[in-house]
A and B are shown apart, each in its own frame.
Chain A
Amino acid sequence: MKHMKGHEGLTSIETLSFSHAKFAYDRTKPIFTDLTVDVPMNSCIFVNGPNGSGQSTFLKLLAVLVQPQGGSYLINGVDTTDMSFEEFLPFRRKIGYTFDYGGLFANRTLLDNLALPLVYHKISTVQEAEAEIQELAARFKFDGQLEQRPAEVSGGLRKLVCVLRSFLTKPEMIVMDDPVTGIGPDGSGKLIELIRNKKETGELKHVFLTSREESWATRMGCKTLWIEKEKLHLREAERAA
């Protein structure tokens, strides 16, 4: 397989599974006490459930932003719970994650925020990164604001930039925590288009998301993974776009 520039040595993600995983932010209020599941792959999964059932936490566990405090989380059958930052890096670079709030560097312009992962990992030169970002920004109609800092633009644009940044490094798996709240119908429509294009080209394989706007997830054609009382049930898409 021909590697993309800056993607040499990265590991493709084939399977994800939890085995008796435990997690709690506060020891007195556990979110998961015995999570055992083989995560459905090669599709779009909308993680849903009652408030406080651990949807965002499940996404963080998937993206290894937090580690289970007991049990294991296996990627391609390899336990990731005791991996160092360097050991996990070949997987990490294949995973994109978008935050429900924050995540942009306050002292950098939107352009610099978007260019950081591309330039840092030498996926593109500064000029190539800027050209790619200009094109993307023009598509999402914020190319006139690229030189502004996050505090100078709307909350919706901040979120959109954070979402788009996660796609720039061409991840195989994308994990999005409430990506469309505030970005408007135009932005959310274009985001569906972007994800669909990347899925069709085979660049993007696995999509996991939560959203306050269920209709958006339905338009994406996602299967629903319902979390309730630590049990996960898969439901088929109600209506594919």
Chain B
Amino acid sequence: MAGHPSTSTQGHFLAFVDNLGAKVISIVRYTLEVCQMVYLCIRAAVFDQAQGLRTIFGVVSAQIYFTGWQALPLVSVLALAAGSIIVLQSATQLSLVGGQSMLGNLLVMIIIREVGPLVTALIVIARSGTAVASEIGNMRANREIEALEVMGINPLSYIVFPRLVGGVVSVVCLAFYFNAVALLGGFIVTRVINDMPFSFFADSLANAITIEDWGLFLLKNGFSGIIIFVVSCYQGMLVKQSSHEVPQVTTKAVVNSVIYVVTFNLIVTTLFYLNQLIKLGLI
């Protein structure tokens, strides 16, 4: 028997609200679990009296090597390309309106505040987030994580914490390198096209970079590193018994890392510019 049309519409609407609520709850729960993992692994590392600094340092340096050092060629190419395009476009457009003196401000705004953190995070997610999630997933499937527990070694302090520390250091260093190469690449292109002297370019940049930019740089890149590695480790740890789960958790690690990093960058940027507007007395 067909129901009354308005009752049916109301039913659809309630089902929609129901699904939306369930989705929001699952996202909040996931976020809390990931945050709890950060807390637990730091706590485990602090309380683990057996784990010496040498053990941590070994894994941290390996993580920096794989995540930071081995990513340099890819970061160089992308930074050079991104920097050249941005500087070329900016310089051309600014010269049309006679605003070349604003080049430094524009570059700081685009490259250091926005493009650098985002592109670096995407490179790290693609290269190292996947590697960490699949490595830990395979360790779960092969019962290596259980073996650690059996031996009285906390997997959170032995496996997760050093990867987190190494990952954060790598992301911050890679982002710094990305910015440097992008700006240098941008200058080279500008030099060829506009014959801009290096002193003008350097002065313009030096005047534009403020202490707030350094704070924003550390905040965005530091937290991107934490997000990428804790989400990847968390997803890897979700493998229960079988290796067929590994590609599934790896894919989810990538998707979730991208969503969290982009959302975080968006929130920070919004708050930063709101703060700027308040300082200028515009709101």
Task: State the main secondary structure of chain B at its contact with A.
Answer: helix
Q: Is A97 a contact of B142 with CB atoms below 8 Å?
A: no
Within 8 A of A (CB), among B20-62: 44, 47-48, 50-51, 55
Which residue of B has the minimal Cβ distance to A101?
Answer: B143
Task: Show 9 A/B contacts (Cβ-Cβ < 8 Å), sorted by A.
Answer: A85-B156, A92-B150, A99-B143, A102-B144, A103-B146, A103-B150, A106-B142, A120-B152, A122-B50
**Chain B residues with Cβ under 8 A from A95's Cβ?**
150
Asked if A240 is at the interface of the complex by the 8 Å CB criterion, the answer is: no
Q: Does B154 contact A (CB under 8 A)?
A: yes
Among B55, B144, B153, contact of A104 (Cβ-Cβ < 8 Å): B144
A65 at the B interface (CB under 8 A): yes
Q: Are A103 and B147 in contact (CB under 8 A)?
A: yes
Give the residues in chain B near A93, CB-CB below 8 Å.
152
Which among B50, B144, B146, B147 is the interface contact of A120 at CB below 8 angstroms? B50
In the complex, chain A residues whose CB is within 8 Å of the CB of B146: 65, 99, 103
Question: Which residue from chain A places its CB closest to the CB of B135 in the assembled complex?
Answer: A107
Whether the pair A65, B150 counts as a contact (CB closer than 8 A) is yes
* CA A92 to CA B156, docked complex, whole Å: 16
Given contacts A85-B44, A120-B50, A120-B55, contact A169 B142 (CB under 8 A): no
Q: What's the tally of chain B residues with a CB closer than 8 Å to chain A?
A: 21
Q: CA separation between A198 and B197, bound complex, in Å?
A: 80
Instruction: Check: B149 CB closer than 8 A to any chain A CB.
Output: yes
What is the bound-complex CA distance between A102 and B143, given in angstroms?
6
Interface residue ranges, B against A (CB under 8 Å): 44, 47-48, 50-51, 55, 138-139, 141-144, 146-147, 149-154, 156
B240 to chain A, nearest CB (A): 8
A interface bracket (residues with beta carbon within 8 Å of B): 20 to 34
Contact B149 A65 (CB under 8 A): yes
Task: Check B50 against A121 for contact (C-beta < 8 Å).
Answer: yes
With A86-B47, A122-B50 known as contacts, the answer to whether A117 contacts B144 (CB < 8 A) is no
Question: A105 at interface (Cβ–Cβ under 8 A)?
Answer: yes
Q: Complex: how many Å from CA A122 to CA B52?
A: 10
Q: Is the CB of A105 within 8 A of B150?
A: no
Cα distance A89–B154 when bound, in Å? 9
CB distance from B242 to the nearest CB of A (A): 11
CB distance from B144 to the nearest CB of A (A): 5
Task: Determine the distance from Cα of A86 to Cα of B50 in the docked complex, in whole angstroms.
Answer: 11
5 residue pairs, one from A and one from B, having the closest CB atoms: A102-B143, A117-B151, A103-B147, A97-B150, A102-B142
The answer for the CA separation of A63 and B146 in the assembled complex, in Å, is 11
- Report Cα–Cα, A95/B139, bound state, in Å: 22
- Are B153 and A103 touching (Cβ within 8 A)? no
Determine the residue in chain B with the shortest Cβ distance to A85: B154
B152 touches A92 (CB 8 A): yes
Verify if A75 is at the interface (C-beta below 8 Å from B).
no
Q: With A86-B47, A120-B50, A122-B50 known to touch, is A103 a contact of B152 (CB < 8 Å)?
A: no
CA separation between A92 and B147, bound complex, in Å?
A: 12
Highest count of chain B CB atoms <10 Å: which of A99, A102, A105, A162:
A102
Asked whether, in the complex, the Cβ of A99 is within 8 Å of the Cβ of B147, the reply is yes
Per-position 1/0 for A64-105, Cβ under 8 A of B: 010000000000000000000110010011011101011111
Contacts A105-B144, A106-B138 known; list 7 others, CB within 8 Å. Answer: A92-B152, A95-B150, A97-B150, A102-B147, A104-B142, A106-B142, A116-B151
Interface residue A166 (Cβ < 8 Å from any Cβ of B): yes
Taking CB atoms, residues of chain A closer than 8 Å to B55 are 120
Q: Mark A111-145, 1 if CB is under 8 A from B, else 0.
A: 00000110011100000000000000000000000
Residues on A with C-beta less than 8 A from B138 are: 106
**CB neighbours of A103 from chain B (8 A):** 142-144, 146-147, 150
| Distance of A96 Cα from B144 Cα, bound (Å) | 15
Q: Which residues of A contact B147 (CB under 8 A)?
A: 99, 102-105, 162
1/0 per residue, CB under 8 A from B, across A169-207: the answer is 100000000000000000000000000000000000000
CB distance from A153 to the nearest CB of B (A): 15
Q: Which residue of B lies closest to A6 (CB)?
A: B50
Contact among B48, B141, B142, B152 for A117, CB-based, below 8 A: B152
A63 adjacent to B144 (CB under 8 Å): no
